[in-house]
Amino acid sequence: MTDNNPDSPVIKLEKWLPYRLFIIAARVAELLADYYGPRYGLSQAAWRILAVVGDSPGLSARQIQHAAGLDQYAASRAIALLSELGYAERNAADHDRRRAEVHLTEAGRKVFEELSEIGLAIEAELLDAVSEKQRAELDRLISEMEKASAGVVARGLKAIVPDLDQKISVPLPARATHDDV
């Protein structure tokens, strides 16, 4: 039985800001992936790392992982894929030989430049939907949202919803064991 009470505090996805932003990003990501995947053999994670390294050459794997919003395993695999495809290379840093830095190769730079051109064209199409004044306001608002989201993550769920543990009103299902499978 579901609660159809319109006053019930549940997420309405079509109005929930994180979901709306995700949908916009997912649509663009899918459109780009349909191009760069078959053409260059890139995964979405590899494209994100290509873009991060193209924008900020010489980052360490950890810095790239953070900038691309990937977990360590996904970042490592994507860096390996970029290296295997000849788009990136890892080298010891000049100032600290223990630190490995990632740089794009000449081929990687060319791929990045081509995909940047396409990405900027998509962005221009999106921004054509709003006025110059609205673009400036949108940029300001997104910057504020980026700061707010970092604050949310830094504080954690329990700081935002202090009685989180008491909110569970449905019994949790028992977890399957290896014997159950």
What's the CATH code of the domain at 92? 1.10.10.10
- pLDDT for the residue 96: 64
Is residue 5 assigned to a domain? no
Q: Which parts of the chain sit beneath pLDDT 70?
A: 1-8, 93, 96-98, 167-168, 172, 176-181
Is residue 134 assigned to a domain? no
**Separation of alpha carbons 78 and 40, rounded Å:** 13
Cβ proximity of 37 and 43 under 8 Å: yes
Is residue 95 assigned to a domain? yes
Task: Pick the closest to residue 67 from 168, 10, 139, 146 (CA basis).
Answer: 146
Cβ proximity of 68 and 59 under 8 Å: no
- pLDDT for the residue 165: 77
C-alpha radius of gyration, the chain, whole number: 21
Is residue 41 assigned to a domain? yes
Q: CB count, 10 Å around CB of 73?
A: 10
Is residue 6 assigned to a domain? no
Is residue 36 assigned to a domain? yes
- pLDDT for the residue 88: 97
* Structural domain for 96, as ranges: 17-129
**Separation of alpha carbons 86 and 104, rounded Å:** 9
Instruction: Report the domain count for the chain.
Output: 1
Convert the pLDDT of each residue in 85-131 to its tens digit.
Answer: 999 998 876 776 667 899 999 999 999 999 999 999 999 999 999 99
- pLDDT for the residue 40: 98
Is residue 29 assigned to a domain? yes
Is residue 99 assigned to a domain? yes
The two three-digit tokens of residue 13, written as one number: 């996805």
